Amino acid sequence: MITEKTMKRNSAHESSDSDSISSEERQTGKHAELMARASQILTGLGRGASLLNVQSNDGQGSLERNDLQERFLEAKQNNLFSGRGSGIRSEVSGIAEEDDLSLSDASTFEMPLGSEGETASYDNTGGTEPQLDEYADIDRLQLEIHASYGRALSGVTLSSLVSNASSNRSDRSDEDEDKKAPIMAALPFFGRGACGLVGKHIHDEEPSSIVQRKDTAGSSDGRAKGWLSGISSATDEAAGRRKSASWKLPTSLKQILLKEDSDDEPYTEDASKKQKAAAKLMHKHFQTANNPESFRELQKRMKEKGAFTETSVRALLQDVDFDSSDEDGEQGIGLELDHSFKKNFFASDLKPLTNEYSWQEGNADTDSKLDEIQQRLRNDPIFFGGIDQRPYIHLPSREPSLQFLANVIQSATDEGRATLLTVHGDRYLGKTKFIDAVVRNVQNQSQNSFTVLRSERSSSTAVISFFPFRKIVSSALRECNRKTEMGAKPHEETDGNRAREFDSSTIQRLIDQKLLDKSDQVMISRILPDVILESSDLLSLLHGRSPGSLTKDTADTLFKLMIPLQPILMVFDAVDGDGDIDSSSWRLMEQLLLSAPTSCPQMIAILISRQPLSIPSLLSGVTIDTSLKGITKKDSEEYIRALFDPNGFDKSMTVDENVLDIIRSRANGCPLFLERLVLWAQKRAIVEIDETRNAVAINVFHEHRSELNDILPATLIEEVLTELSSLPHNELDSLKTACCMGMIFPHKTYDVLESEGFFRLLHSLISSHHIFDFDDDWYKWRHSVVFDAVSSIIITDERQEIHERICDSFRRSSSTSCDVQRAKHYSIAHRWDEAWDQYMDAGKRSEKIFDYTHAVTCYNKAKQCLRERSSPREKIACSTALGWCLQALECYDEAEKELESSLEATMSLPENDREEEYSLLTALAKVKASQSKYSDAIKLYERALPIVDTKIHSPKWLAHHISSYGEILRKSGELKRAQSLHEEALKYRELALEDKSGTVLELSISHTQLGCTHSGLQEHEEASHYHKKALSARVSHLDFYHSLVSESLNYCADSLQALGRGKEAIPLAIHAVKIRKQLFGTSHPAYAHALSVLASSYYSIGRPLDTRYLLEECLDICDKVLSSNHSNLIPNLMLYGKVLRASGDMINATSVYKRALFIHNINFRADQNKIQLDELNRCIRELECGFTSCPKTSLEMPIPCIESDPGKAHIILCTNFGHRPCDAYAFSLASSLQQMGSVNLVTVVAVGQPQHECAQLARLSLDSLLLSDVPVAFSRVVSAIGKSRGTLQTSPYISSDGVEIITRVLVQAPSKKSLTIMCDYCLGDIAEVMEKHAILFAEKVKEVVIIGSVQPLRRRSNIEPEVSGNAEYDMFTSKVYAGCQQLNIQTVSMCKDVAKGFPFPSSYVDDLTQTNHMIGSEVQRKEKAQANLLWEQGTKDSRRYIFGHDKPQDGKCNAWPLVKSVNIELSLGLLCCIPMYRDAHFRWESHQVNGVNHKVCRHRNAKAGIIKSQNLSDEILNLVGFSLRAALLNTSC
C-alpha cells in the first residue's frame, strides 16, 4: 500500500523540481494515458507476475507481495491471462482501482528480472513524463538503457520514449531529429514487449533515425554491451515462430550500424542512401519475421529455388517484395547475406557463398563486442565458460559405474596392482567429465594425493609414434623435478623459454641430481622429439637395439620419473572418434603395466575412446572396460533440476512431465544437447520455474507455449552452427581451414600461415568463443562438437580446395621439415607425388632416430600414394625401405616378402638402372641370416660383392658391409674366411676413426666380431683381448646398464671361463644377466644367452648344479621364442649334456647331444662348423660306449686352503647378513684384503632371519666379488629359523648346517690357533660347536670377535655380556663368553655403538656406485630409502648421528645428501679381526682372565672409540672400491 507518508515525500520531491507540474495535473491528465500505455506494453510481456512489486525510491510504501500474489493466483484461476494480455490489463487496472493507486503515484516500478533477483526500473518522477531533451545526453541514455534492459518492465520506458518521440511529429525540428537518434538506437535493447512498437515506429519514421554512432556502444553493464547484441536480441524475439536457427541481421547492416562518423556525431537524415536502404531492409525484415506465414513461405521458396549465392538470394527477395530500393526509387546497397541469414533457410546442406578465402584482418572487433560475446556465452556448455565452470552433475544411472571405478582405482593402488581402465561411449556423452568426477572421488577418498597426468589424441595424431605419451612425459618431468627439488627456486616458463627447452633443461637438472642418466635422456627424446641432446653421438646408443629392448629401456626411464609421483593416474583421452593409439604407444603401455607391479606398483592408466579399443592380449588380465550409455529419463530430470538449481539447495524442485518428455526425446540421451536445449528455452523464456508449484515448466503466457516441440533445435550440430553463423567470413573460413588440419595440429607445421593472419584469427576466436586450446605449440579444438559442426558445412570440393591452399602455403615455406601432417594434406589434395615425397622423407627421418615402427607406417602410406603411372624406381625405393624397417622390427617374413619383390622389380630394369641392387641383396641376406638360412645369405652376398665399387664408397660404408658378410660366414661356421673379413673391416673402421667419420663405438663392433671369431677358432686368449677392448670402449662412452655393455660383459665372461678362469668370469656374467633381465625381460633370447654364459662359468669352477637350473631356464626361453631347430640352441644343448653327464643322467645326456647333432645337420653343410660337429660326435660315441670322464657331482663345496701364515687372518664369519644395507661392503673389504694377502675368508654362516634368503644374498654377493669358492651355510639353530619369502633362487651349494661346516673348517685347519671366528648376531652355532668339540675348538681357534656389548669390567671377574632381551640368544652369548674364557681363547668385543657417527657419508656411497658394480648401486638404493625413513621416524639420537646437525630444507623430499654416517658396523667388525687395523684404529680396554688378554671397546660412538676415524673411513672407501672395480676387470677406471 502507498502510505500517506509516502505521498507527502513524493510531493516534497516534486515541488523541488522547477520544471514539475502539480500533482493534481499529473493525476488527472496523465493517469489514463499512462495506464493505457502500460496495458499496451503488458500485452507483450511474457509473464503478468512481472508487476508483482511496486515500490518507491526509498523502498518504503510498497505493496504487500503476499496480497499481490493472492490476486495473481486469483486472476490465473479466473482465466484473466488469456488473450495475450487482456486479462493482465484488467487485473492491473483492478489492483490500481482497489488500492486507490494510479501508476503515476509510484515513483519507480521495480520488477524482478529473473532468478538472479535483478530489477528494472521506470523513473516517473519529475512531474511529467521524461521529455526528449532529457535524453539528448548520451550518458543519461546509457543509464536508462541499463535500468531498462531485460524482460521485466522494459516496455514502460520504451513506451515513454516512443510517445515523446512521436507526439508532436508536425512540430519536429532538425534538432529534434538529432536528439531522437540515440533513442531509436536504444530500441533493440528492449524485450519482446516492445517489438510491436519497434515496427510501428520504424514504419512511421525515416529509416535514418535508427542509425547510431559507434562510440555509444560502450557500456559498463554486462547485459547491454554493444549495439549488435541488442539488435540481435530484438530480432530474435520478434521472429517468434521460427523452427530452426536464430535469424540475425546481415553482416553488412551491422557494419553500417558500427560505422564511425569522421566528426564523431550521430547520423541524421542526411545519412547516405546505403544506410537508408539498410534501415529500410531491416524494417521489412521485422515485418516478415513477425508474420509467420510469410516467413515460412520465404523459407520454402528459398529451398525450392536453391538460392545459394548472393545474386540468387537477392533475386528471390525481390520476388517476394523484399527489394532493397528506398521510397524514392533509389537503388540501395548490395546486401550480402552472411552465414547466419543463410542458416535460417538452409538447415542442412550448407554450401559456401564464395571460393575466395581470406585470413587477413577485417574490421577490428571492439572491446565492447568481445565483452558482449563473452557475457552471452558465459554459461554456454560448448563455448566460452559454461560446462567447465559449473559443478559436475551426478546422474543416477552413472553413479554405480563412477563408484565402481573409484573403488577399483583405490584398491589397485592399495594392493600395488597396475590396472588399465577403458571407458568408451558415443560422442558428446560426457566421458571426459565422467572420468574427472571419478578422479575427484578417488582424491577425496584416498589418504594419498594422486598425481594425475593427462594427454589427448586424435585421428590426425594416430600415426605419430608415442604421441599419447608426449604430454604425459612432459608433465611427469615437471612434477618429478618439482617433488625432488622443492627447496629450489621454481623454474617458470617464459616467452623466451619454449616448452621443449624447458623439458631439456628439466632433464639436465634430473641428470645432475642423478635421478636420470644420458641413456634416459635418449629414451625420453624418442617420446619428446624436441628434447635437445648434448651430442648426436647419443643416438648411437639406440643402434642395434631390438624394438623390445628399446621399449623396455623407455619404460624403465619413465619408471624413474613416475616412482616419486606415486600414486599416479595416466589419463589418455581421445578427442574425436578415430583417436586410435599407435602401435609404439601400445607396446610402451604394455611394458609399463606389466612391469609396474615390481617397478611402480601404484600406477593406473585410463583410456577414453568412442569405440571399444583393441587391447593387446597381454593386457587383457589387467584391463577393466566400462561403457557409457545415453542418459535416462531420471538422469534428464536431475540434469534439468541442476541447471536451474546449480547448488542443489532446493530439493523439492520438480520438472514438469511435458517439459521433460519434449527435451529428453529431442536430446536423445545426450547430456550436452539437453543442456543446450534447456538454455535455449531459458533464453527465450519458454521454459522457466513455475513458482506456484516449484517446478520447471513451460511459460503458460508465452505465445509459443504449445509449439515447444516444433521450435526446439533439431540437432546439436544445428544449434552450434547457429552460434557460428554470426562469425565474420574470415573467421569462419579460418575455422574451416583449422578443421581440415584436424582436431589437434601443431603450429610449426603451418607456421607459413602466420604471415597471412590465420593464427591471429584463431587467437581471436579463442578470445571471443574459446573454440581452441593452445598449449606447447599445439592447437586443440576445445570441444569436438564444434569441430564436427564446422566439418559438416564443408562440402567435398571445398575441402579439397582448402587442402590445396594449405599445400600451396607449404611451397612458400622456407622450412624443409617433413612430417605426416603435411603428407596428409597432399594426399587429400590428390597431389600424390608431393605426398609420396613427404611420407618417404618422414620415414627416413624416423629411421635415423631408430623409430622403425613409425617409419613402417610412413612407408605404407607412401605405398598407397603410388599410382599406375609412378615410375618403377619409386615402387622399388618404397618397398626396399619398408623391408629394411620390417627386418629391424624382427618381422622377417614380411621383410623377406617386400625385399624379394623389390629385388625382382630391380632385376627387370636395364642393367645401368639397377642402383638399388646391392642394398637389396645385402638386406635380403641379413633377413635370411636372421632366420638361420646361412647358405641362402652367403649366396646373396656372393652376388652382391662383385657389384661394389670400393673407390666411391667411404671406409665406414665398406666396413659395415664387409663385417656384415663376415658375421654370416662366422655363424655358418666358415671361421677363417670370417676372420679375414673382420680384420679387413677393422682396418676400414680405424681409417674412418682417423678421418672422424667413424666413432669408437663403431670400432668396438669390429673388436667384438673378431673376438667371437677367435672364440669359435678356440683361440681364447685373442678372443679375451678383443672383448676386453670392446668392453672398455663401451663402458667409457655408454651407460653401464646398456645392452651393448652387457654384450661385451657376456663375451668377456665366456672367453675367461673358456680359459679356465671361471672365478673371474662369474662377476661379469652375473652383471650381464642382471642388465639383460632389466632391459629385455625374462623371455628374450639375449637374456637366455646371458644365462648360458653364467652357467658355463659356474661349470668351469665345479658347480654344475648351479649350471643345471640356469641352463634349464635358458632352454625353456629358447624353446618359446626360437624355432625348434635354431642353430643358437646347439651350444646350450652341448653344455646341458655335460651337466647331465656330471649328474649321472647318461640317458638324457645322450638324447640332448643327439638333438644338438640333428639341429647342426639341418643348419650347416658337412664342411661348415666342423669343430662343433666333431665335439658332438665324440660325446655321443662316449655315451653310447658307457664311458664318462665326468666324476659324480657333490653338493659339498670344498673348504678354501688354510695356510700356516701368522700374518693372515683366516676368518669364519657368522653374520646376520643383509639386515644392514652396507653389509655387502664387508664382503668387498674381505675381497680386497684377500687379494692383498691379509685375509682368508674361509666360510660364511647366515644366522639372520629368514636364513635361506640371507644365505642366498651372501652367496650372490660373494660370487660377484671373486669369492665364489667361499662356502656358505645357514644356521640350524631352531630359534633362528624364519620363513623364507621365496624371492631368490637358492643355490644347491648352500649348506643347511652351519655347525657342520664350522666343524669341517676346524678339522681341515692345518695348524694350531689359526682361525678367527667373528659373529654379530646369534651365537647358537658357535656355542654348539664349542660344546660338542671343545678340544678341537680350543686347539684351532685363535680368537673370537663379537659385535656386542659387555657389562662393565671388574677385576678378577669374567667378562659377561649385557642382556639383550632375547633369553635364548643371551644364553648362547653367555655360553660362548664362558667357554672362551674357560678354554683360554681370546675374545675381542666391539660395542655396536662404536659404529655410530662413523664418518662414512652418502657421498662415499655415491662414489662407490661409479664402479658400476651391482653392490654399489644396490647399497645406494637401500641406504637412500632408509635415510628418508629415519629422518621421518627415527629418534633424535639416531638422526643426530646420521645427519649431524643438518636438516633438509622445508618441503624437500630427499634427505640423502645430508647423511653424514651410514652403518658399516659389519665392516668395522671385520677389521677388528686383523691385528694391524685393530691395534691402529680402535681404543681397547684389556681384561685378563686366566692369563689371556681379552679386548673390549665399550665406547658409545665412533669419535670416542676409533682413532683417526676419517683416515680409516678413507681407507675403507679405497679398499671397497678396489674390490668392486677388480671384479669387473677395472672397467670403471
Tell me, what's the pLDDT at 448? 75
Residues 322, 285: Cα–Cα separation, whole Å? 8
In 3D space, the residue among 259, 231, 258 whose CA is nearest the CA of residue 247 turns out to be: 231
**725 neighbors 342 (Cβ within 8 angstroms):** yes
Helix, strand, coil fractions of the chain, as percent rounded to 5: 60, 10, 35
Q: Cα–Cα–Cα angle for 630, 631, 635, nearest 5°?
A: 175
- Note the pTM of the prediction, 2 decimals: 0.60
Burial environment of residue 538 by CB neighbours within 10 A (0 to 12, 13 to 18, 19 or more) = middle
Question: What SS3 string covers 1189-1246?
Answer: CCCCCCCCCCCCCCCCCCCCEEEEEEECCCCCCCHHHHHHHHHHHHHCCCEEEEEEEE
Q: Tell how strand 744-746 and strand 778-781 pair up.
A: antiparallel
- The answer to whether the peptide bond before residue 1104 is cis (omega within 30 degrees of 0) is no
In 3D space, the residue among 1517, 1405, 1419, 1516 whose CA is nearest the CA of residue 1471 turns out to be: 1516
Tell me, what's the pLDDT at 1406? 92
State which amino acid sits at residue 908.
S
Q: Cα–Cα–Cα angle for 1068, 1070, 1076, nearest 5°?
A: 100
Tell me, what's the pLDDT at 225? 35
How remote is the C-alpha of 173 from its chain's centroid? 72
**894 neighbors 859 (Cβ within 8 angstroms):** no
List of the chain residues with pLDDT < 70: 1-379, 384-390, 485-501, 532-545, 814-818, 868-869, 1187-1194, 1278-1290, 1431-1439, 1444-1454, 1531-1533
**1282 neighbors 1249 (Cβ within 8 angstroms):** yes
- The residues facing 1241 across adjacent strands are 1211
Query: What Rg do the C-alpha atoms of the chain give, in angstroms?
Result: 45
Task: Kindly give the interhelix angle for 1129-1142 and 1085-1100, rounded to the nearest 10 degrees.
Answer: 30
Residue 1276 phi/psi, 5-degree rounding, is -110, 15
DSSP per-residue codes, 301-339: HHHHHT--SHHHHHHHHHHTT---B-TT--B---PPP-H
Residues 936, 926: Cα–Cα separation, whole Å? 10
Residues 1525, 1519: Cα–Cα separation, whole Å? 10
- The answer to whether the peptide bond before residue 112 is cis (omega within 30 degrees of 0) is no
Whose grid coordinates read 620415414? Answer: 843
**157 neighbors 135 (Cβ within 8 angstroms):** no
Residues 1204, 1216: Cα–Cα separation, whole Å? 29
SS3 1159: helix
Count the neighbouring beta carbons within 10 Å of the beta carbon of residue 1422. Answer: 18
The beta-strand segments (E) located in 760-835 are 772-775, 778-781
Residue 1192 phi/psi, 5-degree rounding, is -65, 140
Residue 1482 phi/psi, 5-degree rounding, is -120, 145
Rounded to a whole number of angstroms, the distance between the first and last alpha carbons of the chain is: 101
**350 neighbors 721 (Cβ within 8 angstroms):** yes
The beta-strand segments (E) located in 468-576 are 568-574
Q: Tell how strand 1386-1390 and strand 623-628 pair up.
A: unpaired
Residues 972, 988: Cα–Cα separation, whole Å? 24
Count the neighbouring beta carbons within 10 Å of the beta carbon of residue 43. Answer: 16
Residues 198, 168: Cα–Cα separation, whole Å? 18
Residues 501, 340: Cα–Cα separation, whole Å? 44
Residues 1120, 1112: Cα–Cα separation, whole Å? 13
| Helix and strand totals (H; E) in the chain | 63, 23
pLDDT tens by residue, 526-546: 888 877 665 556 666 666 667
Residues 951, 941: Cα–Cα separation, whole Å? 19
In 3D space, the residue among 1366, 1369, 1273 whose CA is nearest the CA of residue 1323 turns out to be: 1369
List CB contacts of 295: < 8 A, sequence separation 6 or more.
239, 241, 242, 288, 289
Residues 591, 86: Cα–Cα separation, whole Å? 76
In 3D space, the residue among 609, 529, 542 whose CA is nearest the CA of residue 572 turns out to be: 609
- What are the Cα distances from residue 1314, in Å, to 1149, 1291, 1343? 45, 29, 9
Tell me, what's the pLDDT at 952? 81
**1515 neighbors 1400 (Cβ within 8 angstroms):** no
Edge-first strand order for the sheet with 603-609 is 451-457, 568-574, 603-609, 419-425, 623-628
Count the neighbouring beta carbons within 10 Å of the beta carbon of residue 901. Answer: 17
pLDDT tens by residue, 541-587: 666 667 777 888 889 889 989 988 889 999 999 988 777 888 889 98
Tell me, what's the pLDDT at 1191? 55
Tell me, what's the pLDDT at 769? 84
List the grid coordinates of 1065: 668370469
Length of the chain: 1533
List CB contacts of 374: < 8 A, sequence separation 6 or more.
384, 385, 768
**1095 neighbors 1088 (Cβ within 8 angstroms):** no
List the grid coordinates of 36: 493505457
